[in-house]
Structure 1
Amino acid sequence: MASTPRTTADQGDPTGAAGARHAGPADPARKRKAVAAAAIGNFLEHYDFYLFAAYATVFAAIIFPQSNQLAGLLYTFAIYGVAFVGRPLGALVFGHFGDRLGRRNTLAASILLMVGATVMIGVSPSFESVGVFAALWLFVARLLQGVALGGEFAGATSYLVELAPPNRRAFYGSFNTFTVGLALLSGTLVAALISAVLPPEAVQDWGWRIPFLLAAPLGAVGLYLRLRLDESPEFTALAERNETAKAPLALTLRRYWQPILVALGVTVVWTVSAFVVLVYAGTYLATQTDLSFGASLAVQAVALAVYTIVVPLSASLADRVGRRPVLITGATMFLLLSIPGFLMLQTGDIVLIVLGCSMLSGTVGVFAGPAPTALAEMFDTKVRYSALGIGFNLSVALFGGTAPLIATALIGATGTPLAPSFYLTAGALVTLVVLLLVVRETVRQPLRTG
């Protein structure tokens, strides 16, 4: 992560613009409200987005009832993966406006699109009522969700990192991945609660719709909070100097393609592990072990709680010792622990299953704590939204969003339920090489301004 020399504004600006940029809102309470609003919006978008995975087995039954369980899951995860085709598109569109016009209103638009697409899933028809049109309906809804989330991660990360004090950037940036954990945990708990309260027939008939339809009131709250955000101080200072990029996307592709490739490489194990361990695990336990659907969700909830606790601790450590040591530790842990972790899931012992899932999810948390900030620090403020969005979402589309589909297909092709751990190990190896050979340390360096 190469750094650029300090600009005049960094060294001393008589107008005071640089000081305002680094300090953010003068009122600490106002800054806390801004962080909370950005984080809550990120939480709501990811809650909406990942609910689909929690009900993968239900969708397989109601959308593809004529297929066997494995084929139905493969078709369902193919539709799940469609959203990740939309994410790079969302990064291009939202990144352009986020770097051209500002972070706040662009983030508000992304949450509005996410809510509409999630409600669309909540009212989707079944194969029994409309035939193959049911799969098409889900396809469109998931594509729109992907476009929305493609504009969320880079925008929220840019905003949080630009708002943060220089010595706490990793901690502030970790709110993005911390709230992802909360969102996954909330979605899992809601799904588990519905499964506990309603009989299986009711869940499959109409109960699964409840979490998706909750997106409407929750999204209204998120939109209200987003519209009340202060603009990023870094972007505001850039706009006041009339230095915003006129064509951010063209500038990004022309001058920043190398750090984008580095960001993609760094993100490989993060995206693979997040979607295999945090998203796919519930389906894996329900289909590859003797655990019931409800018990699988309960185990996953414990693992997600572990992840959520580890993220801010890992980020705080990265603010003290640096981004690289923590990221390298996380990638190495996946290299060593992925196969043993999945072996624990196959023991049939509930204690070992919980420990295995928690060990794997904790490892995701180690990496995910400093990762958003490490990526954001690779790019200049004038293109941060666009460049970060492209690098991250390309990696998610290629390696993360396809992970449940690849994991399920690998199990079918190899005949071993350990197959997903091989994918995790390969991803860890790729990222570790990139971290050791290419990535530079950025802790205690000023944000790049361009």
Structure 2
Amino acid sequence: MPKAPPAITTRSMALAAFSTVVEWYDFTVYLYLATVLARVFYGGGGTSLAATLGGFAIAYLMRPLGAVVFGHVGDRYGRRRTLLLSMALMTGAMLATAMLPTHAAIGPAAGWLLLALRCVMAFAVGGEYTGVVAYLLEGARPNQRGLVTATAAAASEVGGLAAVGISALTVGAMSTAALDGWGWRIPFLVGAALAAVVWIARSAMDESPDWERARAEGTVPDNPLRTALTHHRAGIARGFAISALGSITYYVGITYVPAFLTTVGRLAETRALWLSTVAAVVVIAVTPLVGALSDRWGRRPVLVALALLAAVLPLTLFGWMAGGSAAEVTAGALLLAALAGGVSAVGAVATAEQFPGEGRLSGLAFGATTATAIFGGLTPLGAHLLTERTGWAPAPGAMIAVVALVVLPVLIRLPRPKTDG
């Protein structure tokens, strides 16, 4: 009988969770600086913000491709290897972004170069988050998987908090001329430095015990992608539904909010970013709580409750942010953040549990990451265009509500998770 693989050390688990800080910082800083980047790389004007958000949406479509490539590496050669490769690529992309020439220097080519590097970043992130979630799930005790895996979502929001905080400090401390001239580079340089530190620290991580078990038993799939598509189609579909709800609540309910508040004229850039900073703190507080509740009550009841809230609340909350009092603007942003944080917390573990250890990353690539590309990458642009063309401020909330109602039947029939090994 094969010897049981060693458990993941606390140090390796903590490092894996912490690394999502860097991942989400690097990726969301682009959205938090969207109005600044619109001027710097697209020359300002009425269509520049749409071009900036459109670039984010196009680049986001690279996430499933990255997830497939890195998922194959992780399922075939080990989780540790894929986590090292993805972080190395993220480090290079962030540093290159900080060095880019602007629209004032080279004209429209600046926007194309920014788009190219966003595609590289999205490709790397495609394999990063699913790799970390799988690693934490496989290293945790079965009765603590929700709480432990939720630390990835909580840590990612620490990265979002750092991104919005540093963006707010940078924007608030400079004149528009200095910000557009060179100050916008600071958040990207910070991200590159953080990514490099994590990449170095990751070299000492343990391998996942699930992958070591599969290797010892000779069950590592030769073609993880084919294995996932052949044997786990139902899990892929369920993972898609869960991630669709998590993605649209996060990207429309959190990261799009600063641009929304600025566009509808409620808050200036700096104040909108500071409000998003407080919202990030709310997500960090909510995430481990919801993860622990899912361990106690089950994934299905918690997800169903959150989906019902997502079907009802966002319409009202976006209406508050567009036309309510200052207190209603604040409450709207914070309640949306709490909702999104809750879905992200339980969604992370629930999607990973749809698959066995053999081929788990590839299954997540086809299901969860594809949904994120569609309902995460495209929805900020969709929300912006829908609001602009209809003049109806609650439109982003309606988008969330529709997705919640569509995926609700899938969540109601969600099966109980199985334990690997």
TM over 0.5: yes
Q: Is the 8 A contact 1:161 1:376 kept in 2?
A: yes
Instruction: Quote the offset at 1:336 in angstroms.
Output: 1.1
CA deviation after TM superposition for structure 1 residue 250, in Å: 1.6
> Contact 2:243 / 2:369 at 8 angstroms: preserved in 1?
no
After the TM superposition, which residues 271-286 of structure 1 pair with which residues of structure 2 at under 5 Å, given as runs? 271-286=247-262
Aligned residue type for 2:30: F
Residue 41 of structure 1 contacts residue 225 of structure 1 at CA under 8 Å; is this kept in 2? no
- Counterparts of 1:15 and 1:420, CA distance in 2: 53
Judge conservation of contact 2:238–2:354 (CA < 8 Å) in 1.
no
Task: Tell me if the contact between 1:47 and 1:187 (Cα under 8 Å) persists in the aligned partners.
Answer: yes
Output one character per residue of 1:268-321: Cα deviation in whole Å (capped at 9) or x when no partner: 121011101121111111111331111001111111111111000000011111
Structure 1 residues 158-307: aligned runs within 5 Å: 158-307=134-283
Is structure 2 residue 402 aligned with structure 1 residue 429?
no
Match of 1:389 in 2: 365
> Quick one: distance in 1 between partners of 2:236 and 2:36?
37
1:46 is aligned to 24
Partner of 1:419: 395
Cα distance in 2 for partners of 1:365, 1:402 equals 20
Q: Which amino acid aligns with 1:357?
A: A
Residue of 59, 82, 93 corresponding to 1:83:
59
Distance 1:215 1:358 in 2: 25
Q: Distance in 1 between matches of 2:261 and 2:161?
A: 16
Q: Contact 1:290–1:348 (CA<8 Å) still a contact in 2?
A: no
State the distance in 1 between where 2:108 and 2:2 align: 63
Equivalences for 1:397-408 in 2 at 5 Å?
Answer: 397-408=373-384
TM-score under structure 1 length normalisation: 0.91
Look up the SS of the partner of 2:240 in the other structure. helix
**SS across alignment from 2:323:** coil
Letter in 2 for 1:358: L
Report if aligned partners of 2:166, 2:187 keep a CA contact under 8 Å in 1: yes
Alpha-carbon shift at residue 196 of structure 1 (Å): 2.2
Tell me what 2:292 maps to.
316
RMSD: 1.4
- CA distance in 1 between counterparts of 2:322 and 2:112 reads 36
1:107-155 deviation line (CA, Å, top 9, x unaligned): 0110111111112221122122112211110111010011000001111
Equivalent in the alignment of 1:439: 414
How far apart, CA to CA, are the structure 2 residues paired with 1:167 and 1:257? 26
Q: Tell me by how many angstroms 1:67 deviates.
A: 3.4
Gaps of 5+ in 1: 1-13, 26-30
Identity of paired residues, percent? 32
Letter in 1 for 2:36: V
Is 1:121–2:94 an aligned residue pair? no
Separation of aligned partners in 1, 2:233 and 2:2 = 34
Give SS of 1:266's match.
helix
CA contact (8 A) 1:170 1:316 kept: yes
| Higher deviation after alignment, 261-270 or 85-94 | 261-270
Give distance in 2, aligned partners of 1:330 and 1:293.
30
Residue-by-residue CA offset, 1:322-374 (whole Å, 9 max, x unaligned): 01111111111111101111121123522221111111110112211111111
> Does the 8 Å contact 2:2/2:217 carry over to 1?
no
Structure 1 residue 200: deviation in Å? 2.3
- Number of equivalences: 421
Letter in 2 for 1:350: A
Which structure 1 residue ranges, 4+ long, deviate > 6 Å from structure 2? none
Deviation at 1:402, TM superposition (A): 0.5
Instruction: State the 1:266 CA deviation.
Output: 1.8
Please list every run of 5 or more consecutive structure 2 residues that lacks an aligned counterpart in the other structure. Answer: none
Q: Which amino acid aligns with 2:414?
A: V
Whole-angstrom distance in 2 between the partners of 1:144 and 1:273: 25
Amino acid at match of 2:92: G
Query: Hey, what's the Cα distance between the residues in 2 that align with 1:72 and 1:252?
Result: 41
Q: Indicate conservation of the 8 Å contact 2:64/2:126, yes or no.
A: yes
Residue 30 (structure 2) pairs with residue 57 (structure 1) = no
Conserved in 1, the CA contact under 8 Å of 2:244 and 2:368? Answer: no
Q: Is the contact between residue 290 and residue 346 of structure 2 (CA under 8 Å) also seen in structure 1?
A: yes
> Residue 330 of structure 1: which of 306, 330, 334 is its match?
306
State whether residues 149 and 348 of structure 2, in contact with CA within 8 Å, keep that contact through their aligned partners in structure 1: yes
Q: Alpha-carbon deviations, 1:394-436, whole Å to 9, x = none? A: 1011111101100011012211222111111111112212111
Q: Distance in 2 between matches of 1:258 and 1:321?
A: 23
Deviations 1:217-250 (A, max 9, x none): 2112100121110000111111112210111112
Counterpart Cα distance in 2 of 1:350 and 1:299: 11
Q: Which amino acid aligns with 2:17?
A: A
What is aligned with 1:4? none
Verify the 8 A CA contact 2:287 2:342 in the aligned structure 1: yes
Most deviating of 121-130 and 99-108: 121-130
Which whole-Å deviations, capped at 9, do the CAs of 1:151-205 have from their partners, x for residues lacking one? 0111101100000011100111111211121111110000111122222221121
Distance 1:313 1:66, change over 3 A: closer
> For 1:186 and 1:156, how far apart are their aligned partners in 2?
19
CA distance in 1, matches of 2:166, 2:96: 19
Mapped to 2, the partners of 1:195 and 1:265 lie a distance apart of 37
Amino acid at match of 1:274: Y
1:178 aligned counterpart, secondary structure = helix
- Tell me if the contact between 2:321 and 2:328 (Cα under 8 Å) persists in the aligned partners: yes
Counterpart-to-counterpart distance in 2, 1:369 and 1:446 = 19
| 1:67 paired residue number | 45
